[in-house]
Amino acid sequence: MSSRIVPTTPENIAEAGRLLAAGALVAFPTETVYGLGGDATSDRAVAAIFAAKGRPRFNPLIVHVAEAAEVETLVVADARARRLMARFWPGPLTLVLPRAPRSPASLLASAGLDTLAVRQPDHPVARALLAAAGRPLAAPSANRSGAVSPTTAAHAAELGAAVSLVLDGGPCRVGLESTVVDLSGARPALLRPGGVTPEALEAALGEPLVHAAADPTAPRAPGQLESHYAPGLPVRLNAAAAHPGEALLGFGGTPGATLDLSASGDPVEAAANLFAMLRALDLPEFTGIAVAPIPERGLGLAINDRLRRAAAPRP
């Protein structure tokens, strides 16, 4: 049973805000992917998010705010954090920061850590919903844990009756989850590549990022599990051509591609198409999905990160 999908009218956004304030879950568009939102200050609502997704309880969530100033009640922001917020918020950047001493965010959202991941989304519907709810929202991607991320309302509705409402804001503009940077230590650490490139972050910070090795048994941010973003079919990377029975996901005009992430080789277009095309090729008529090579630079770092996790051995 799919969730109820509604257009993003002011009336529906107001209804969604009331549902969230009452502890229900609502799926909504952001510039990155569709989020599954719940009241970040309610243990019950946060627990419902984990249950709806089948998400491991040790995997922390991102808390979304309507305005950057709101994070001061949730986390302790230093000069580096304020610099990045001023440069990249609202936008596809998540910051991992120490929890404020009296942070109202559920401890479950932090998965037992002394840090909290926070973000200000750059989507008018997400911002309007946060204002209507009147509280920060914990909002991981609106899909079953480990599966391909949702970039349309129809994808988010697949979660079913656990979601009270899905706000349909059309396809997501970026199509990849946010970049995650950990600022809880002395050196800024890149935990997950995403819509903001490492080069842009380092230029804003004035220092290099540490590329932190993830511990899949104790992640400090979402998207660090070894197997993640995975379709049902096996994924084979850096393929020059498809094996018999495979679908071929191309890049830059790959000959014989079943679908091409970007025929012109544009990484921005490829990122926006990635999850939707993985879903489109995840069909019983194929035995697997072969993916053409994608340059390991700029936004290609984030695309390849998602593909490596999609191709990893399944738990």
Tens digit of each residue's pLDDT (9 = 90 or more) over 45-81: 999 999 999 877 677 899 999 999 999 999 999 999 9
Angle subtended by helix axes 299-311 and 267-281, to nearest 10: 20
- How do 137-138 and 35-39 pair as beta strands? antiparallel
pLDDT tens across 251-278, in order? 999 999 999 999 999 999 999 999 999 9
pLDDT at 228: 65
pLDDT at 224: 53
Is pLDDT above 70 for 213?
Answer: no
Is pLDDT above 80 for 94?
Answer: yes
Confidence of residue 43 (pLDDT cuts 50, 70, 90): very high
Q: Give me the residues paired with residue 188 across strands.
A: none
pLDDT tens across 182-210, in order? 999 999 999 999 999 999 999 999 999 99
What share of the chain has pLDDT > 70, as a percent? 93
Would you call 98 helix, strand, or coil by DSSP?
strand
Rounded mean pLDDT, 96-104: 96
Q: Give me the residues paired with residue 119 across strands.
A: 64
pLDDT at 6: 97
Question: Which domains occur in the chain, in start order?
Answer: 5-178 (3.90.870.10), 235-311 (no CATH)
> What b/e sequence results for 1-40 when a residue is b if at least 16 CB atoms lie within 10 Å of its CB, and e otherwise?
eebebbebeeebbebbbebbeeebbbbbbbbbbbbbbbbb
**Which is higher by pLDDT, 115 or 227?**
115
Give the chain's mean pLDDT. Answer: 92
pTM for the predicted model, two decimal places: 0.88
pLDDT tens across 121-133, in order? 999 999 999 999 9
Q: What are phi and psi of 182, to 5 degrees?
A: -95, 115
Cα–Cα distance measured from residue 64 to residue 142, given in angstroms and rounded to the nearest whole number: 14
What share of the chain has pLDDT > 90, as a percent? 83
Confidence of residue 227 (pLDDT cuts 50, 70, 90): low
